[in-house]
């Protein structure tokens, strides 16, 4: 892929860099990173072989060559200064990618200029797996194919209307949280019932992967598979009866709505 330059190398940027190199959508020699923390130069170079630096002058020089510029700073950082450097120095046709939470395309067009190609990406945290959808919004100037190719380095690309980004963040990007929590609870349930933890863990993981595969292979709705798996007055049906008496479904739905609400609040604070 073209030269990719990251401004800011926090956890998400680093995860993207690691995945892009692992999945060979770009080589280490094609990636550079600027971070105000001097120690990141050595860390990023030693871990991934990329060129990293902490000098603002070097950042300006690199911006003039980069084909894709990733804004990976925190929402509370000086975004105006970062975007001013990009607006003044980035190549005219460079794709500007933002992973900054709560900052809209319109706001970036105001900072960078409406003629700039801009993509707003909410990355999924499953970067190392190559799985998981990242939510993507692009303006009219951005190349859809190039954007999708870039995102494919750290997962799957899902183009959205910008009005859906906050909902997608609370549901899709936070999605692994719900799955991890469920796995932990199910393993603990096996231990509570008397299984050794290692057996409960292996069984839970195999059931999780196998159930997803079964849904894919069969093309059936989860309810159809539940009906197949539960005989009248059987063990499975009794377990579902007990689960239905809990707040499992409502609790999960409330957690998604809470995540969406918080995402929206953060965006409003940025306004």
3-class secondary structure, 95: strand
Residue of 59, 48, 62 whose CA lies nearest to 16: 48
List residues bridging with 135 in a β-sheet.
Answer: 122, 158
Q: In the structure encoding, which two tokens stand for residue 88, read together?
A: 């003044």
The rounded distance, in Å, linking the Cα atoms of 260 and 13 is 23
Strand partners, 52: 33
Question: The tokens of 251 are what?
Answer: 């609790």
DSSP state of 170: I
pLDDT in tens, 74-84: 877 788 999 99
Q: Each residue of 33-91: pLDDT tens digit? A: 999 999 999 999 999 999 999 999 999 999 999 999 999 998 777 889 999 999 999 99
DSSP 136: E
CA distance 23 to 126: 13
């Amino acid at each position: 892929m073209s030269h990719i330059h990251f401004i800011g190398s926090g956890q998400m940027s680093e995860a993207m860099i690691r995945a892009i190199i692992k999945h060979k959508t770009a080589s280490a020699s094609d990636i550079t990173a600027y971070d105000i923390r001097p120690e990141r130069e050595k860390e990023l170079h030693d871990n991934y072989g990329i060129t990293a630096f902490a000098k603002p002058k070097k950042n300006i020089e690199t911006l003039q060559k980069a084909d894709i510029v990733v804004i990976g700073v925190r929402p509370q950082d000086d975004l105006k200064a970062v975007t001013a450097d990009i607006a003044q120095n980035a190549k005219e046709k460079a794709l500007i990618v933002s992973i900054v939470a709560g900052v809209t395309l319109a706001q970036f067009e105001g900072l960078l200029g409406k003629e700039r190609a801009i993509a707003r990406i909410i990355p999924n945290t499953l970067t190392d797996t190559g799985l998981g959808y990242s939510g993507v919004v692009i303006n009219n100037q951005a190349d859809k194919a190039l954007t999708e190719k870039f995102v494919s380095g750290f997962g799957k690309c899902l183009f959205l209307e910008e009005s859906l980004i906050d909902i997608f963040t609370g549901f899709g990007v936070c999605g692994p949280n719900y799955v991890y929590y469920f796995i932990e609870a199910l393993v603990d349930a096996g231990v509570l019932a008397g299984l050794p933890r290692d057996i409960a863990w292996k069984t839970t993981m195999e059931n999780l992967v196998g159930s997803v595969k079964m849904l894919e292979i069969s093309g059936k709705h989860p309810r159809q598979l539940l009906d197949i798996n539960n005989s009248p007055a059987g063990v499975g049906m009794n377990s579902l009866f007990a689960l239905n008496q809990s707040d499992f479904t409502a609790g999960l739905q409330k957690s998604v709505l809470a995540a969406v609400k918080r995402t929206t609040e953060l965006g409003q604070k940025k306004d």
